[in-house]
Amino acid sequence: MDKMCVIGAGSWGSALAISLHKNGHKVYVWTREVEQAEEIKNTRENSRFLPGIIFPEDLVVSNDLKEVLKDSKIIVLGVPSQAIRSVCKQIKPFIDDSQILVDVAKGLEKGTGLRLSQVAREELPNNPYVTLSGPSHAEEVSRFLPTTLVAACEDIKSAEIVQDAFMSPTLRVYTNPDKVGVELGGALKNIIAFGAGMCDGLGYGDNTKAALMTRGIAEIGRLGVAMGAKVNTFTGLSGIGDLIVTCTSMHSRNRRAGILMGQGKSLQETLDEVKMVVEGITATEVAYKVSRELNIDMPITKAIYSVLYEGANPEVAVSELMTRNKKHEMEETVTNGLFHN
């Protein structure tokens, strides 16, 4: 039985901790919030982030970072994307180079535009780093509903260790050496999911959402390939798979936030109502700036950026998308593979 730890007691970190425990591992969860730790210890429930799900009695929840990290074979970074750098700095004094870092956040660092593995590499250059991503809602994983994920790392042995740790009859994990593609698929789909929510909030139909998702995966692929990803990764779990689940489910914070803005709420009102991190908002800002630097056409991302950061009316943004210059689909989307600039 290996010791595993999860840094962060949000919904996803909690669900993965419960999954690791069910697989027979000794699991520790760290939270900086004393009240949250006490609640879980006393009630065995994380009522704010995962209500109704019971934590096993011997799953340890602690505020002691050193205790949680000591001798853990795998360290799951279950914090929002913008906290990855600070968390890596916090854990650095307490870990050694043999411990595998597993990132489960989906985002890009604001300001630098870096993928999260690049952020971690700057702070912890010697630790193996695996991205665990795919179409997965914490609410369903915690209830052991069949789910598939992908563990991505250039070092396939590290990916396989993570695969073995999480694999179960209800959680199937694949491996993929294209960490760049898996990271970008997970981060960029949040932008499209936010847009899908806006379309729902505006009262548009299934035709609109199908168009948005299809053209959205083309945008993701164009930017991803320009940033070094392999094109086929975007046809897999962290591309089309994650896009589908995030654009269609009310579990998705990004879609819920988009619905609220489509209904006319301001960005601040939306964040106040969702009450959790909406990764797609920051991802839109970062991806838009990176796409301009790389000269990659991303009209949907540009339209969502205009709504979030320039005060554009969502209906006007959709109208401008629909009335752009005419194009040939195959020239823009599929050429000897999937995507083409």
Catalytic sites, residue numbers? 189
Say if residues 238 and 181 touch (Cβ distance below 8 Å): yes
How far, rounded to the nearest angstrom, does the alpha carbon of residue 49 sit from its chain's CA centroid? 16
Name the strand (E) or helix (H) holding 133: strand 129-133
The pairing of beta strand 3-7 with beta strand 26-30: parallel
Supply 2's token pair: 């290996």
Distance between CA atoms of residues 225 and 233, nearest Å: 10
One-letter amino acid of 255: R
Name the strand (E) or helix (H) holding 4: strand 3-7
Nearest Cα residue to 327 out of 314, 341, 306: 341
Q: What are the contacts of 315-322 at 24+ separation with CB within 8 A?
A: 315/202, 318/199, 318/202, 318/204, 318/208
DSSP line for 128-166: -EEEEESS--HHHHTTT--EEEEEE-SSHHHHHHHHHHH
